[in-house]
Amino acid sequence: MAYLAAPLENLIEQLCGLPGIGPKSAQRIAFFLMSLPRADAVELARAIVEVKDKVRFCSICFNVSEGEQCAICTDARRDGTVICVVEEPRDVIAIERSGRFAGKYHVLGGAISPIDGVGPEQLRFKELIDRLKEGSVTELIAATNPNAEGEATALYLAQLVRPLGIKVTRIASGLPVGGDLEYADEVTLGRAMDGRREL
């Protein structure tokens, strides 16, 4: 694309690396960004840098956080006896949106997937066990995605925790099989949460 100005070409290239953005979308977005008032463009660039500089992972649950510990872990009104175990921070957002859960979270950082070379040791199970040893947790809700990797992860979790005498439940079916939690609507996710069963 030698006919494009080099900075524009560079921006299109950068955008092309984003999830779900192909070359055509990248071009459309790049021209849109070019049409923005300078202040808006600076604001957007600043927001990207700020996320890199200021957002990190909570030292307890590994959700995204501005401080050492996230707003959910530090909220005394939330029930510390129930922990909802999810794959990614995006899933926390989805479950929070359902409004049916008032406990705490643990973000594993993915799901067990032998094909992709992801075993339990790559996920934050050890950190979870350390949390459970403190003794106040009575139930873990396995809210991993309703696909093969998510199911395998939920089963592994149940086996891992059984010796500790902590109940492990699985969010109910009704979620689209093979799908991602983050795409489930609030009502479906709320129902799945209410209808959870012991593993």
Taking the complex as a whole, the smallest distance from the CB of residue 60 to Zn ion amounts, in Å, to: 5
Q: Which residues bind Zn ion (CB under 5 A)?
A: 58, 60-61, 63, 70, 73
Strands laid side by side in the 167-170 sheet: 103-107, 79-86, 139-142, 167-170, 197-198
- Residue closer to Zn ion (CB basis): 26 or 60: 60
Residue 26 or 86 with smaller CB distance to Zn ion: 86
Which CB sits closer to Zn ion, 127 or 139? Answer: 127
Residue 19 C-beta: closest distance to Zn ion, Å: 25
Residue 100: name the closest of 199, 171, 11 by CA.
171
Question: Buried b / exposed e across 157-184, counting CB within 10 Å, b at 16+?
Answer: bbebbeeeebebbbbeeebeeeebbbeb
Nearer to Zn ion, 30 or 105 (CB): 105
State the Rg of the chain over Cα. Answer: 20
Give the shortest CB-65-to-Zn ion separation in angstroms. 6
What is the closest distance, in whole angstroms, from the C-beta atom of residue 166 to Zn ion in the complex?
19
